[in-house]
Structure formats: structure tokens, C-alpha cells
Amino acid sequence: MDVLQLVTTTTSTTTGTPETPAPRPLGRAPDVTLRELGRHEVDVLDAVFAGLSAHSRYLRFHGATPRLTRAVRMKLAAVDGRRHIAVAAFGPDGAPIGIARLVSLGLRDAELAIEVVDTWQGRGVGRRLLRTVAARGREEGYSRLVADVLTENTGMRVLLASVLPIVTVETEGHETTLTADLSVGTPSRLTAAA
């Protein structure tokens, strides 16, 4: 399984369990700031990973992932702003609360991954991250985003389709691959993204 799989969790419509968190209010997150990550900002990766429940980690990595190995951490931190772009969200206290990344698949396609810590899910953070990383992808010349997501992860599938036009959906087993058209919209700098 590639470590750059797309994920965010969906919430239960009941009271929730440790595996399926209960619903949270959908209040906005006005004091969230976004910035592009530099190379080897492992502390940001670690903070976001620590804020994911076991269920969120399952959806992110398509299996039980109690910890990130050193190799995975280094791969996720190896951003270069061109072939591997990562944008992070930070809460009002400056703590990392989410990351969206694009990794080149060659030519004009890039793989998309998004993760938002559980306490900030449902508050628009994922949408802001997706819009911002998509704008950065356009700036770098990418025209399509490819996201491999667990078929049960309807929250991420809906999020992606609500921001970008989906051009193909292919399901094989428990995974669905969504391809989105990134050529829609205009580039915007990170500081202007909302």
C-alpha cells in the first residue's frame, strides 16, 4: 500500500465508538492559518499523526497504523515544492491540525493525500487544504489529481467531488480511485487561499 493514500474520516450518525467518532458541530475554523511545508518538517507530520484516531489512521493508510516508521516519515517529509508539495493547517494556538499533499505521478498527474486531526474534522479545514494544494498544483503545471481512497470513506469522496470535477471513478475491491480535473479554476498564492 502506498503511504500517500487519501484519507479523512467520516463520522457516525449515532453516538460513535472509538473506531467511529461521534458527530461534531460543523462550526467554521476562522483562526486557522495555512502555509506550505519546507523539507523535513517532521515535527508537523508527527503532530498531525498524533491527532488522528485509530479509525482515521486506518482510513489514511488503508490498515492499522499505530505509528509511522522512520522510512515513511522521511518520505512524507521529503517535500520539494514541485514534485512533492505539502500544505499544512495550524490552529489558533499554532498547533498543526492538517496536511494536504500532492506527489507527482509523472507528466501532469499528481497523487493527492489529505489528513485532518479528529478534533478539527467537519470544520472546513480539509476543504481549505484541498483548495490551496490544488491551486499550488495548478501553479506547478499539474492538470489531474489522482486519489486512492477506501470505498467506505464517503466523506473524502464527497469532499473531493465538491471542490473539483471528478472525471473518473474506478473501484477495485475495497479501494476506489478518483481522478479529478485540476485545470478548472485559477492559481492563487498560498497567502490568498481561504
- Name the more confident of 180 and 67: 180
The pLDDT score that the predictor gives to residue 82 is 95
Please report which confidence band the pLDDT of residue 2 belongs to, taking 50, 70 and 90 as the band edges. Answer: very low
Please report which confidence band the pLDDT of residue 185 belongs to, taking 50, 70 and 90 as the band edges. Answer: low
Q: Is the pLDDT of residue 29 over 80?
A: no
DSSP string, 158-189: HHHHHHS-EEEEEEETTEEEEEEE--SS----
Give the model confidence (pLDDT) of 50-72 as tens digits.
Answer: 999 999 988 887 877 888 888 98
The pLDDT score that the predictor gives to residue 87 is 97
- Could you say which of 3.40.630.30, 1.10.3720.10, 3.40.50.1950, 1.10.1740.10 is the CATH number of the domain covering 33-192? 3.40.630.30
The pLDDT score that the predictor gives to residue 65 is 82
User: Which residues are bridge partners to 179 per DSSP?
Assistant: 146, 168
Range 44-55 average pLDDT:
94
The Cα-based distances of 39 to 44, 59, 61, 74, 164 in angstroms read 11, 25, 22, 10, 27
Dihedral angle sign, alpha carbons of residues 63, 167, 184, 30: negative
Range 100-104 average pLDDT:
97
The pLDDT score that the predictor gives to residue 24 is 39
Q: Is the pLDDT of residue 26 over 80?
A: no
Domain boundaries, the chain: 33-192
Mean pLDDT of the chain: 82
pTM of the model: 0.80
Please report which confidence band the pLDDT of residue 40 belongs to, taking 50, 70 and 90 as the band edges. Answer: confident
The pLDDT score that the predictor gives to residue 5 is 39
Please report which confidence band the pLDDT of residue 28 belongs to, taking 50, 70 and 90 as the band edges. Answer: low
